[in-house]
Amino acid sequence: MASPIRIAFVEDDAPFAETLLKFFRLSGAVDCSAVFHSAEAALEVLPELRPELVLVDINLPRMSGIELVARLKALAPSTLCLVLTMYEETSLIFDALKAGACGYLLKRTPPAEIVTAIEQVYAGGSAMSPQIARQVVSFFHRAPASAPEGLDALTERERAVLELLSKGFMYKEIAERLAISLDTVRTHLRKVYEKLHVHSRTEAVIKYLGR
């Protein structure tokens, strides 16, 4: 059996946090090592604690969860961040993704699906509640077609990697499909990020889909 995914939870609603923690303990797939009730408290500990994933609410007492994600990604780039909130505004969704979040879930998501989302993000994917995914798709259907800055500079192989990434393939699957090593996939993606001026796979896919 695989080891549970080590996470931390930033949530100021204590009853909600405790309910979710009970489910995590029962599932055995997630090990929540710390719960913080403010972004400030989380930032004091998370860079040293280094959980594999941080579950973050947006509406926190002072600093917002979106700002927390941005600051945490700057301090610990390898830490995955997954937003769990009640807010469905398009602007907040994109702000969270631009800050470095790997997914965006609504609090009404059943606990079992939250665990599944954590596993998806940990495995290299992205996770969104269906309502959020529809909003993202709708946004791009409305957006005028134009080539994003840097897309023309991508090589044919970099485009191929980004195309598969946009379809939800994980790094290992991309390597197998293109018959290249996992390290080569990561090298291509680093170059893609540099050319598109982004800092995460989610930002890269958003920019690519908006082409």
Domain of 163, CATH number, reads 1.10.10.10
Q: Which of 140, 172, 189 is the last residue of a domain?
A: 140
Whether residue 39 is found in the same domain as residue 131: yes
Its domain, for residue 186, covers 151-209
Q: Looking at 90, 112, 140, which one is the last position of a domain?
A: 140
Q: Please state the domain count of the chain.
A: 2
Q: Do 73 and 161 share a domain, yes or no?
A: no
Per-position pLDDT tens, the chain of length 211: 578 999 999 999 999 999 999 999 999 999 999 999 999 999 999 989 999 999 999 999 999 999 999 999 888 888 999 999 998 887 788 888 888 899 999 999 999 999 999 999 998 888 888 778 777 777 666 644 454 557 888 899 998 998 888 777 778 888 988 999 988 988 998 899 888 888 777 778 777 776 5
Helices (H) and strands (E) in the chain, counts: 10, 6
Q: Both 198 and 110 in a single domain?
A: no
Predicted local confidence at residue 167, as pLDDT: 75
List CB contacts of 57: < 8 A, sequence separation 6 or more. Answer: 10, 11, 12, 13, 65, 83, 84, 85
| Signed CA dihedral, 196, 102, 67, 131: sign only | positive
Q: Which of 148, 164, 167, 156 is nearest to 211 (CA)?
A: 148
Sheet strands side by side (includes 80-85): 30-36, 5-10, 53-56, 80-85, 103-106, 127-128
**83 and 165 fall within a common domain:** no
Residue 57 located in a structural domain:
yes
184 lies in a domain?
yes
Residue 169 maps to a domain: yes
Q: What is the pLDDT of residue 148?
A: 52
Q: Is residue 156 a part of any domain in this protein?
A: yes
Same domain, 91 and 41: yes
At 116, which CATH number?
3.40.50.2300
